[in-house]
Chains A and B, each alone.
Chain A
Amino acid sequence: MNWAVVQRILGLLLMMFSLTMLPPIVFSLYFNDHSWLPFVEGFGITLLAGIVIWLPVHRSRKDLRIRDGFLVVAAFWAVLGTFGAAPLYFADGLSLSVTDAVFESMSGLTTTGATVLTGLDTLPVSVLYYRQQLQWLGGMGIIVLAVAVLPMLGVGGMQLYRAEAPGPVKDTKLTPRITETAKALWYVYLAFTIACMVSYRLAGMGWFDALCHAFSTVAIGGFSPHDASIGYFDSALIDCVAIVFMFVAGINFSLHFFAWRYVSIKHYKQDPEFKAYAAMLVVLSLVIVVSLLNYRGLDDAGGTIISGVFQAVSIATTTGFTTENFALWPSAIPVLLIFSSFVGGCAGSTAGGIKVIRWLLIYKQGAREVARLVHPSAEIPVKLGKSAVQPRVVDAVWGFFAVYVVVFVVMLVAMMATGLDQVTAFSAVAATLNNLGPGLGDVTSGFMSLSDAAKWISIVGMLLGRLEIFTLLVLITPVFWRN
């Protein structure tokens, strides 16, 4: 373990992150909401901490190894969640405990979107903006941003990038240089954010709401500056804009990059993961819309359809926006929705969950076993599109799946041990581990009623979900620390 390098990069990243507390100050002064002070304090503390960490080792010039990469990423996300909480903790109107502030900040950064705040509509503008911004930064990955703007990370950038990027195959680069790849991803991300903001504005939101919702839509976060989430606007047009952009943000950003570079949509059409993702959303939406229509009848069929599709896309991509309280929907729909969040979006997107590609590979493996029963001596590779998948990748998918289930069960038991009923505990774990946001039972509209212990379990769950478990899990294995 190369402590000096880890420390140096961590310090640098913290200093960089401190800059993100400046825009809320601008908003505060512009809207005159008298809450700029917490952000100045947060900025000062974060910057100072960064300098204190960085200064003793700023001359260290060693290369980052793979192992160091895991530590930097895990430590950075954990530390960031903590420092990101500073302005929320200091804000007068909120009077949050440390637990609540960290929960809110971590929920933002990991694009979960679960909240412990109530009465959002009365909070200062700058605080509302800050929550949305946290989601936006966490969406594409704050490490990816760092790799893009800090060229000195060099080869080490790849180690960091791999430890943060979601999906089973992490070696694909869009461009030869990792810095350029990171930049490309952020440009695409930025372009979608702007497009989303303009669309929201045209659909009827004010500029501020449009910006805030664009941040949390493209990041697949789910925070909203309103208690009623997107339902606040009660507009079919806005719902449709949200559906489109949630769908787009759940696609692998590499595909967007190629589409933009080669000005063609053939990459989408050829990508098996995209096809599976689109098919899954269509089927899920159909099932939910049909059940809803069956229950509610055909009065206001248009509204029911939009509402059903919206909720299906929002939950399945792990965004977590709501227009209605879906926990009250009839029969199996709420549970079906929660289960769809286990699938999540595509690898390389901003979505959470297990990712479509892993499910696809697991399904194909199942299909292979069936085929083997029929043709015992056949040689049947697992194929994605036209190319065979390396056995190593398939193994990794099974490993991930197994660990996911184990982590889920452990967290579920721990949650229930804090006194939650089974439905609440189950949906709370699903909502955090999949970076979804809303759950069922007591956590339908937020996590404020939970005990501190349950909140900390949720914080760990969100972090595990965002870093896809292994990056964090590897740190608690003895092998990692053994020299």
Chain B
Amino acid sequence: MKILILGAGQVGSSAAYHLSREEANEVTVVDTNADVLRELQDRLDIRTVVGHAAHPEVLERAGAGDADIVVALTDTDETNMIACQVAYTNFRTPTKIARIRAAEYMNANNLFTQDAIPIDVRISPEQLVCTHIEQLILYPGSSQVLDFADGRVRLVGAKADRGGLLVGQRIATLKDHIPNTEGRIAAIYRDGVAMLPNGDTVIQEGDEVFFIADRKDIRVFMSEMRRLEDPVRRVVIAGGGNIGVRLALALENTNQVKIIERDPRRARQISERLNKAIVLVGDAADEELLLEENIDNVDIFCALTNSEEANILSSMLAKRLGAHKVMALINRPSYVDLVESGSIDIAISPQQITIGSLLAHVRRGDVVKVHSLRRGAAEAMEAIAHGDKDSSLVVGRAIEDIELPAGTAILAIVRGDRVIIAHHDTVIETDDHVILFMTDRRKIENLESLFQVGVSFV
């Protein structure tokens, strides 16, 4: 697939990285900064074009004429929108994806139609990150919560600890613990190595366990992995940027929210937008300020400023001062591994959260949702099975008869409104939403071909 990425910022670069790793994709990146592009081209097998992303001449040079997808990820919403408009008007590009930051655009009606601003998919990283954090707060103890089928099913990652009922026991005993709930353990990461579990696998302390279950059963499952934590009440957010304010707005009615902002003018602005949350003016790394605001009673401390180094340091400080759990927004993938083994509980990587929504559109077959996990090494995806027993490799077959690539498992099926947790004899029907987990994403092409209709086979 020919993909045009506009903007080589953090999200743009990581999109280029993920997309160009797949053999079938031809990626071209456009940016105004030649140095960034040169550096990017050294690392990745891509083509780069220097120029303004919305100019028709630049797009033409970048090969918009035969591109299948344009992904506009530049800094400014307006550039992204015009770029998609140009791609649509001048080059008839089939799929146009754009990052739109401003909620004002996102919420406007009838704006993103073919005869106005032709953008097929709008991505708001701030929105995605905010939802991500919200869900982590909703399920205390989880390290990742991924929605499928509009949130009917959730895939949750959690670190097993001593308090979990299942820890130290075989997975098969799960049925005895919680007889009336259905769910499945998707994968276990032990010392960074993936395992697809079976009934005899014993969960150990320190394993990162991914399990899937109906939305209503998540809490019950969580108690199997670790001692159930009390619901989060007190939240401190460091950084009053877009993400911080969104999060504060989302949480202020259910939690006690304090938000720390350094710039007095910005603080004043956001205090006007927030109703219940308290806006504090000051430095998030100021020990006095944190102590004064009872940091030792805080359930969650979220460092969400622009500077990842500041996020890391301020959340480490908060942890030392007694915050129960700390999260830090970190862009650089190499930092993520570094800090999660230390005193920071959860590193939030905006790129990884955003990339999933892009990947869903470059997959062949009808793929609804893709979540990228473990720095892109693993992937969870939701695909729709089409066709019938003759034209499809999955429809009309029991799961045990489907030839899945190694390291892949079918976790659940959503049929209409019903969530079916996959068993070896579950038969897939047409139009089922199939939820899969892949520990090795290099097998992705084999998997894609399973979900394509009309593949000829004997």
A157 surroundings in chain B (CB, below 8 A): 45
A175 surroundings in chain B (CB, below 8 A): 26, 47
Interface, chain B (partner A; CB < 8 A): 2, 20, 23, 26-28, 34, 38, 41-48, 63
Q: Mark each residue of chain A from 170 to 181: 1 if its CB lies under 8 Å from any CB of chain B, else 0.
A: 010101111110
Q: Is A155 an interface residue (CB 8 A)?
A: yes
* Cα of A66 to Cα of B41 in the assembled complex, Å: 12
- Asked, given contacts A158-B41, A171-B41, whether A177 binds B26 with beta carbons under 8 Å apart, the answer is yes
- Can you list 5 contacts pairing A with B, beta carbon distance less than 8 Å? A66-B42, A155-B45, A173-B41, A176-B27, A179-B45
Within the complex, the shortest CB–CB distance from B439 to chain A, in Å, comes to 18
User: Besides the contacts A176-B63, A178-B45, what 13 more A-B pairs have beta carbons closer than 8 Å?
Assistant: A151-B23, A155-B44, A155-B45, A158-B42, A175-B26, A176-B20, A176-B27, A176-B28, A176-B45, A176-B46, A176-B47, A180-B26, A390-B34
By size class, the interface of chain A is 10 to 19
Q: Is the CB of A155 within 8 A of B43?
A: yes
Within the complex, the shortest CB–CB distance from B59 to chain A, in Å, comes to 15
A171 surroundings in chain B (CB, below 8 A): 38, 41, 48
Which residues of chain A from 149 to 184 have any CB-CB distance to chain B below 8 Å in the complex?
Answer: 151, 154-155, 157-158, 171, 173, 175-180
A179 surroundings in chain B (CB, below 8 A): 45
B45 surroundings in chain A (CB, below 8 A): 154-155, 157-158, 176-179
* Cα of A175 to Cα of B20 in the assembled complex, Å: 13
Among the listed B23, B26, B34, B43, which residue makes an inter-chain contact with A176, where contact means beta carbons less than 8 Å apart? Answer: B26
Q: Which residue among B2, B47, B63 has the maximum number of chain A CB atoms within 10 Å of its CB?
A: B47
* Cα of A177 to Cα of B24 in the assembled complex, Å: 10
Within the complex, the shortest CB–CB distance from A317 to chain B, in Å, comes to 29
Within the complex, the shortest CB–CB distance from B27 to chain A, in Å, comes to 5
B20 surroundings in chain A (CB, below 8 A): 176
B2 surroundings in chain A (CB, below 8 A): 176
* Cα of A178 to Cα of B34 in the assembled complex, Å: 19
* Cα of A454 to Cα of B34 in the assembled complex, Å: 45
A155 surroundings in chain B (CB, below 8 A): 43-45
B42 surroundings in chain A (CB, below 8 A): 66, 158
A66 surroundings in chain B (CB, below 8 A): 42
Q: Mark each residue of chain A from 218 to 262: 1 if its CB lies under 8 Å from any CB of chain B, else 0.
A: 000000000000000000000000000000000000000000000
* Cα of A179 to Cα of B20 in the assembled complex, Å: 13
Which 7 pairs between the two chains have the least Cβ-Cβ distance? A176-B26, A176-B47, A173-B47, A155-B45, A176-B28, A176-B27, A176-B46
A390 surroundings in chain B (CB, below 8 A): 34
A151 surroundings in chain B (CB, below 8 A): 23
* Cα of A155 to Cα of B21 in the assembled complex, Å: 10
* Cα of A423 to Cα of B27 in the assembled complex, Å: 53
Within the complex, the shortest CB–CB distance from B12 to chain A, in Å, comes to 15
* Cα of A394 to Cα of B9 in the assembled complex, Å: 28
A158 surroundings in chain B (CB, below 8 A): 41-42, 45
* Cα of A180 to Cα of B23 in the assembled complex, Å: 12
* Cα of A250 to Cα of B26 in the assembled complex, Å: 30
Within the complex, the shortest CB–CB distance from A193 to chain B, in Å, comes to 27
Within the complex, the shortest CB–CB distance from B442 to chain A, in Å, comes to 12
Specify the chain B residue showing the minimal Cβ separation from A178: B45
B26 surroundings in chain A (CB, below 8 A): 175-177, 180
Q: Which residue among B2, B34, B41 has the maximum number of chain A CB atoms within 10 Å of its CB?
A: B41
* Cα of A425 to Cα of B385 in the assembled complex, Å: 75
Within the complex, the shortest CB–CB distance from B61 to chain A, in Å, comes to 11
A176 surroundings in chain B (CB, below 8 A): 2, 20, 26-28, 45-47, 63
B46 surroundings in chain A (CB, below 8 A): 176
B23 surroundings in chain A (CB, below 8 A): 151
Specify the chain A residue showing the minimal Cβ separation from B42: A66
Specify the chain A residue showing the minimal Cβ separation from B45: A155
Specify the chain B residue showing the minimal Cβ separation from A174: B47
Specify the chain B residue showing the minimal Cβ separation from A179: B45
Within the complex, the shortest CB–CB distance from B298 to chain A, in Å, comes to 43
* Cα of A173 to Cα of B40 in the assembled complex, Å: 13
Q: Which residue among A151, A173, A178 has the maximum number of chain B CB atoms within 10 Å of its CB?
A: A173
Specify the chain B residue showing the minimal Cβ separation from A66: B42
* Cα of A173 to Cα of B20 in the assembled complex, Å: 15
* Cα of A155 to Cα of B27 in the assembled complex, Å: 13
Q: Which residue among A157, A177, A179, A180 has the maximum number of chain B CB atoms within 10 Å of its CB?
A: A177
Within the complex, the shortest CB–CB distance from A471 to chain B, in Å, comes to 16
A177 surroundings in chain B (CB, below 8 A): 26, 45
* Cα of A171 to Cα of B38 in the assembled complex, Å: 8
* Cα of A175 to Cα of B49 in the assembled complex, Å: 11
Specify the chain B residue showing the minimal Cβ separation from A63: B43
Specify the chain A residue showing the minimal Cβ separation from B3: A176
* Cα of A180 to Cα of B2 in the assembled complex, Å: 13
Within the complex, the shortest CB–CB distance from A326 to chain B, in Å, comes to 43
B38 surroundings in chain A (CB, below 8 A): 171
Within the complex, the shortest CB–CB distance from A162 to chain B, in Å, comes to 9
Which residues of chain A from 118 to 175 have any CB-CB distance to chain B below 8 Å in the complex?
Answer: 151, 154-155, 157-158, 171, 173, 175
* Cα of A173 to Cα of B2 in the assembled complex, Å: 15
* Cα of A176 to Cα of B27 in the assembled complex, Å: 6
B34 surroundings in chain A (CB, below 8 A): 390
B44 surroundings in chain A (CB, below 8 A): 155
A154 surroundings in chain B (CB, below 8 A): 45
* Cα of A155 to Cα of B26 in the assembled complex, Å: 13
Specify the chain B residue showing the minimal Cβ separation from A156: B45
* Cα of A66 to Cα of B26 in the assembled complex, Å: 22
Within the complex, the shortest CB–CB distance from B11 to chain A, in Å, comes to 19
Specify the chain B residue showing the minimal Cβ separation from A173: B47
Which residues of chain A from 196 to 218 have any CB-CB distance to chain B below 8 Å in the complex?
Answer: none
* Cα of A177 to Cα of B28 in the assembled complex, Å: 9
Which residues of chain A from 64 to 78 have any CB-CB distance to chain B below 8 Å in the complex?
Answer: 66
Specify the chain A residue showing the minimal Cβ separation from B20: A176
* Cα of A332 to Cα of B43 in the assembled complex, Å: 50
Specify the chain B residue showing the minimal Cβ separation from A162: B42
B48 surroundings in chain A (CB, below 8 A): 171
Within the complex, the shortest CB–CB distance from A390 to chain B, in Å, comes to 7
Specify the chain B residue showing the minimal Cβ separation from A154: B45
B43 surroundings in chain A (CB, below 8 A): 155
Specify the chain B residue showing the minimal Cβ separation from A151: B23
* Cα of A390 to Cα of B38 in the assembled complex, Å: 13
Within the complex, the shortest CB–CB distance from B28 to chain A, in Å, comes to 5
Specify the chain A residue showing the minimal Cβ separation from B16: A176
* Cα of A175 to Cα of B3 in the assembled complex, Å: 12
* Cα of A151 to Cα of B23 in the assembled complex, Å: 10
Specify the chain A residue showing the minimal Cβ separation from B2: A176
* Cα of A154 to Cα of B43 in the assembled complex, Å: 11
B41 surroundings in chain A (CB, below 8 A): 158, 171, 173
* Cα of A51 to Cα of B110 in the assembled complex, Å: 65
Within the complex, the shortest CB–CB distance from A314 to chain B, in Å, comes to 35
* Cα of A184 to Cα of B111 in the assembled complex, Å: 42
* Cα of A90 to Cα of B2 in the assembled complex, Å: 50
Which residues of chain A from 381 to 400 have any CB-CB distance to chain B below 8 Å in the complex?
Answer: 390
Within the complex, the shortest CB–CB distance from B306 to chain A, in Å, comes to 30
* Cα of A83 to Cα of B177 in the assembled complex, Å: 71
* Cα of A308 to Cα of B13 in the assembled complex, Å: 54
B63 surroundings in chain A (CB, below 8 A): 176
* Cα of A158 to Cα of B2 in the assembled complex, Å: 19
* Cα of A158 to Cα of B43 in the assembled complex, Å: 9
A180 surroundings in chain B (CB, below 8 A): 26
Within the complex, the shortest CB–CB distance from B337 to chain A, in Å, comes to 19
* Cα of A173 to Cα of B44 in the assembled complex, Å: 12
Specify the chain A residue showing the minimal Cβ separation from B38: A171
* Cα of A154 to Cα of B442 in the assembled complex, Å: 14
* Cα of A390 to Cα of B42 in the assembled complex, Å: 18
* Cα of A39 to Cα of B355 in the assembled complex, Å: 54
Within the complex, the shortest CB–CB distance from B57 to chain A, in Å, comes to 12
Within the complex, the shortest CB–CB distance from B52 to chain A, in Å, comes to 14
* Cα of A157 to Cα of B26 in the assembled complex, Å: 15
